[in-house]
Amino acid sequence: MHISVKRFHHNLIEWYDKNHRPLPWRETKNPYYIWISEIMLQQTQVKTVYDYYLRFIKRFPNVEILANTTREEVLKYWEGLGYYNRAVRLHQAAKIVKNNFQGNLPSDYLQLLSLPGIGQYTAGAISSIAFHQPMPAIDGNVSRVICRLFLIREDIKNAGSQKKIKEFAMKILSKEDPGTFNQAIMELGATTCFPRKPGCNVCPVKKDCRAFSHHQQGTIPRIKRKPKQNRIYMEIALVINGDKILMVKRPSEGLLANLWALPSIEKEEKIEGGISILRHLESQHEIKIDRKPIFLGEETHTFTHRIWRMKLYYFPYLRGINPDEKKENWCHIKKVKQYPIGKAFKKMFKYIERVMKEKTEENSVLSEHSKSDF
């Protein structure tokens, strides 16, 4: 069975015109807005991106404004969206576009590909949607549709499969309107050609789908099982000095990179009761703790490949710290939420508010527990 490309284009675009979701980034040809949306949509669902996108472009309506702001503010507006390196690279790319391209996003695919945070899919999406360039935009949804259309049975992540998918994507790409075509095939994958239980009964291109004709749409594409998430036990410190708490900046690489957080450390094996975080405070932040850590509560946060089991400990007395403002800071409790902070640490806010309320009322249960010296 061979695809009738002309029929495929007609049926797909007709379906898309009638059924596509009305999304704000589809109502514009502004390359900057399309770029922002595509970066946000990397590994993130449309429903999550929607409000973030509107808020972001309202605050940063063009490349120059984005390039001229601080990384801290960009991260603050990205707060809660996850995969924070996307925001860092977006900011880096904005500076390059401002300085090297007169503030205009380049239309050339290879120039787009040279910018931080832009890979083959994003470069293809921007160049086709914003600049009408005949380049495919192959994300997970498109890969799944193509595997089913052409009966690609191999693991979707294999290099051979990836090569085939790209070849077939180029074969069926509309040269007349590549932007609309790319959006249409992405929409088909997102709303109809589901990973499980695809909606073949309403699919506009099932006549050209080899998986459908062979009754294999439920088993294609083949995907390896995801590895189990690692469970990591973390200890978090709430260190209070008057009406201020200690905030630290996380490293520039790795999980929650560049965000602000409470001091934290992975718990040492067989060491309980907040001793791991106490040692971390002493060794890394030169804080001398003279009282026992006081356990406040426990929370769980799930990342893509790991689960944090977090225990929060309160340290009501300290001495010896002179913070380096680039990596740590005493933050007034009322200003904590002005910092870019990941969701994992935001879960600790309720405990912070409780402790500060008890301190204000001078009737804290914690003070009774902290009378005995460590």
3-state secondary structure of 61: coil
Q: Based on the number of CB atoms within 10 Å of its own CB, is 202 exposed (0-12), middle (13-18) or buried (19 or more)? A: exposed
Query: Are residues 276 and 266 in contact, defined by beta-carbon separation less than 8 angstroms?
Result: yes
Q: What are the DSSP calls for 100-117, one per residue?
A: HSTT----SHHHHHTSTT
Q: Tell which residue, 279, 295, 298, 175, has the closest CA to residue 234.
A: 298
H runs (alpha helix) in 43-139? 46-59, 63-68, 71-78, 85-100, 109-113, 120-131
Strands 244-249 and 260-261: antiparallel
CA 334 to chain centre: 27
14, 27, 38, 282: the catalytic one is 38
Give the C-alpha separation, 149 to 321, whole Å.
63
- What tokens does 347 get? 């879960």
Beta bridge partners of residue 233, listed in sequence order: 309
Query: Are residues 103 and 64 in contact, defined by beta-carbon separation less than 8 angstroms?
Result: yes
296: enclosing H helix or E strand: strand 294-302
Give the C-alpha separation, 41 to 142, whole Å.
14
Give the C-alpha separation, 307 to 310, whole Å.
9
Give the C-alpha separation, 330 to 336, whole Å.
10
Beta bridge partners of residue 241, listed in sequence order: 244
3-state secondary structure of 246: strand
CB-CB neighbours of 349 under 10 Å: 14
Q: Catalytic annotation on 187? A: no
Query: Are residues 165 and 153 in contact, defined by beta-carbon separation less than 8 angstroms?
Result: no
The residues carrying an active-site annotation are 38
